[in-house]
Structure 1
Amino acid sequence: MNELTPATAPAIWDDGEMLECVSVVPEMADTASFTFRAPSGALFAYDSGQFLTLEIPAPDQPGGVVRRTYTISSAPSRPRSITITAKAQSDSMGTRWMLDNLKPGMRLRAIGPAGLFTNAQSTSDKFLFLSAGSGITPMMSMTTCMWDEGRDLDIVFINCAKRPSEIIFRQRLEQMASRSPGLDLKFVVEEPDPYRPWTGYQGLFNQLMLGLMAPDYLEREVYCCGPEPFMTAVREALAGLGFDMDRYHQESFGAPVESVAEHPALDDVVPDDDAMAEIHFATSGVTAKVAETDTVLIAARAAGLNIPSGCTFGVCGTCKVKKTAGEVHMVHNGGISEDDIEAGYILACCSNPIGKVSVDV
């Protein structure tokens, strides 16, 4: 049996060599997977979840190129090629050019791979992957790599999309899940496709969905990628449920980071058990001092005031009241609209006062 020696082992690609496109596979409207090889035959070495930066022709830009960063959607367990999956937004320049012009045989310069968003060094064996839109790409890489390595999967894989037809990699994931009981797929859509009934989760991701989809979320290592409002909602849901946020990892939807120093600080407001707040119930003329971890509803009841309520966890909207001053930390489950929030309304059952707050009660 011939053994590879350092002299005969395939070289590892580095970004001094251009990449050659070998296939372009449409995934859905304005989205495609672009696969590249190294013309020299070199292999690709990277960690699942990392990204590439591509230099894309742009004659009207300084230098004639634009640099765009894309998470690698293929797995390092398949090292002969490397794939990025890109979705063009309305203002896309680089991705739009690739969708319209990039063909097999063409070559692009790339920088990388790089990035810290990976589970390659994780010691956990239970994962919760949360993504929205094309934020699914690093989760696909991580899942495929663990699958290829023959690991006993224990993954709750949640992806949110506008419609079922916009779930990237759906068929591929379903094929993997049909052969591994440890890959638990959950899809959430905002609305169904016309004339195609949807029987899964519908709406915006929230705490209730998390509890139903992953009842053992406290035991899992969490990886999250998507637009910033989505990641904020995920963080708030987890923090509100007592999750250890040291086990939470996220990748920016628009700007993956290469070093620890580049990680943006997560300045989420989290109610503090030891911090006191003051709520002024303006209509009743009552002022109450409470802990930040008490909700407006609990404070009202303790003061002998009545705010009509129903579910008590932010779904029914019965406890909606007008906030006239101050700030609250509200993690709701769909019981209030964005228009109402902008108008100053809150749900008393899931709003924690921060500092001094005034409400019309």
Structure 2
Amino acid sequence: MAKQQLNWSAKPWDDSELLECAMVVPETADTATFTFRAPSGAWFDYQPGQFVTLDLPVDPKKGAKGNVQRTYTISSSPSRPLSISVTVKAQATSIGTRWMLDHLKPGMKIKAYGPAGIFSSHRHPAKKYLFISAGSGITPMMSMTTWAWDSGQMPDIVFVHAAKRPSEILLKKRLEGFADRVPGLKLRFTVEECDPFQTWSGYEGRLSQIMLGLMAPDYLEREVFCCGPEPFMQAVREMLVSLGFDMEHYHQESFGAPVSSEAEAPVIEDVIPDEDARAQITFAASGVTAPCAETDTVLAVAKRAGLNIPSGCTFGLCGTCKIKKTDGDVHMVHNGGISDDEIAEGWILACCSNPMGKITVEV
């Protein structure tokens, strides 16, 4: 392939020009990075963390009617303007991404739109960042980290990423290449399970408050960027709120529905206990009903009422204070001391459960 040179006399690429696939790099199973260039030599100008929309001919026999449009976060950095890359992972139901993995080869040209998006560290400059991602939500973090590396002034970044297993951590070697050479980038990976016959020395288990405190002890001082599945991001938001983080410094982008403008940004309506909202707990076995605030924990209310609920760690890790809730709703942010199946059956951890209105427990 002939070397491409930056055409400084050309304008930045816009979506009137087809993109040519220049390189395909396999990453993990069902995942690859596709690099594109502009045939004219135009250069790419965008903010790290933004996305492009690709027009993919999944069924060429149907012509334009067989195309689907899919949005992908740019995993490369505008500090490297000769090309633009997206790192994509096919799911079981994927159509466009599956077509890319099976059919998109170097030399092929496709229509692309953008770049667009508001999820970028350029919009929220800070001295210290905390990037939190899961799965393919790592891609905008890779773009922002590459920009920081190329700028020559690497800021303080704690890069937290969650994956199912070590072999599924996307772009891991590239990130480690950066972190090996600068003290300002700290990588913190956690996995649900280890790969067989391979040593894993990182974190294991669901990301929790305790884990986050170990990974980034000064998290309260950092600008937080989060990207991943909505349940993951909701859990992160709940962790940060319960830890007293100022959510004005929290920014998120779902890789399922990237946002083009501030006006399109969805309103986050998480349940947050209100200290001025009144609640009530009925301890059925004891015949005691106690008024309280939503910000009170079930354990604290029980103690004030003279009742004894066995407890240990008091931050949702040990599971000692597990009790059965028979009525009402609680807001619970735990650290692994209870399973999803137990929660579905009505069990709660008294030390980290806040009553949302009236509830009844078997105590």
Q: Is TM more than 0.5 here?
A: yes
Runs of 5+ in structure 2 lacking a partner? 1-6
Whole-Å Cα distance in 2 between the matches of residues 330 and 48 of structure 1?
35
Tell me if structure 2 keeps the 8 A contact 1:37–1:82.
yes
| Partner residue in 2 for 1:65 | 67
Whole-Å Cα distance in 2 between the matches of residues 283 and 264 of structure 1?
43
Whole-Å Cα distance in 1 between the matches of residues 137 and 36 of structure 2?
20
| Partner residue in 2 for 1:11 | 11
Of 121, 144, 159 in structure 2, the residue corresponding to residue 157 of structure 1 is 159
Whole-Å Cα distance in 2 between the matches of residues 81 and 199 of structure 1?
35
Whether 1:49 and 2:49 are equivalent positions in the alignment is: yes
Whole-Å Cα distance in 1 between the matches of residues 266 and 321 of structure 2?
35
Whole-Å Cα distance in 2 between the matches of residues 98 and 305 of structure 1?
61
Whole-Å Cα distance in 2 between the matches of residues 74 and 126 of structure 1?
21
The 1:259–1:199 alpha-carbon spacing in structure 2 relative to 1, beyond 3 Å, is same
Q: Counterpart amino acid of 1:137?
A: T
Whole-Å Cα distance in 2 between the matches of residues 357 and 127 of structure 1?
39
Paired residues, number? 355
Residue 26 of structure 1: how far off its partner (Å): 0.3
Name the SS of the counterpart of 2:213 in structure 1. Answer: helix
In angstroms, what is the RMSD of aligned CA positions? 1.2
| Partner residue in 2 for 1:239 | 241
Name the SS of the counterpart of 1:230 in structure 2. Answer: helix
Whole-Å Cα distance in 1 between the matches of residues 150 and 8 of structure 2?
25
Q: Counterpart amino acid of 1:39?
A: P
Whether 1:93 and 2:95 are equivalent positions in the alignment is: yes
Q: Counterpart amino acid of 2:192?
A: E
After superposition, the C-alpha distances for 1:245-265 in whole angstroms (9 at most, x for unaligned) are 010000012010101121111
Of 298, 301, 323 in structure 2, the residue corresponding to residue 299 of structure 1 is 301
Whole-Å Cα distance in 2 between the matches of residues 253 and 285 of structure 1?
49
Name the SS of the counterpart of 1:140 in structure 2. Answer: helix
Moved over 3 A (4+): none
Summarize the alignment of residues 104-183 of structure 1 with structure 2, pairs less than 5 Å apart: 104-183=106-185
Q: Counterpart amino acid of 2:160?
A: I
| Partner residue in 2 for 1:4 | none
| Partner residue in 2 for 1:37 | 37
| Partner residue in 2 for 1:3 | none
Percent identity between the aligned chains? 66
Summarize the alignment of residues 204-243 of structure 1 with structure 2, pairs less than 5 Å apart: 204-243=206-245
Whole-Å Cα distance in 2 between the matches of residues 174 and 194 of structure 1?
22
Residue 319 of structure 1: how far off its partner (Å): 0.8
Runs of 5+ in structure 1 lacking a partner? 1-6
Name the SS of the counterpart of 1:85 in structure 2. Answer: strand
After superposition, the C-alpha distances for 1:101-152 in whole angstroms (9 at most, x for unaligned) are 1100000100100001001132311000000011000000000001101113
TM-score of the superposition, structure 2-length normalised?
0.96
TM-score of the superposition, structure 1-length normalised?
0.96
Summarize the alignment of residues 279-294 of structure 1 with structure 2, pairs less than 5 Å apart: 279-294=281-296
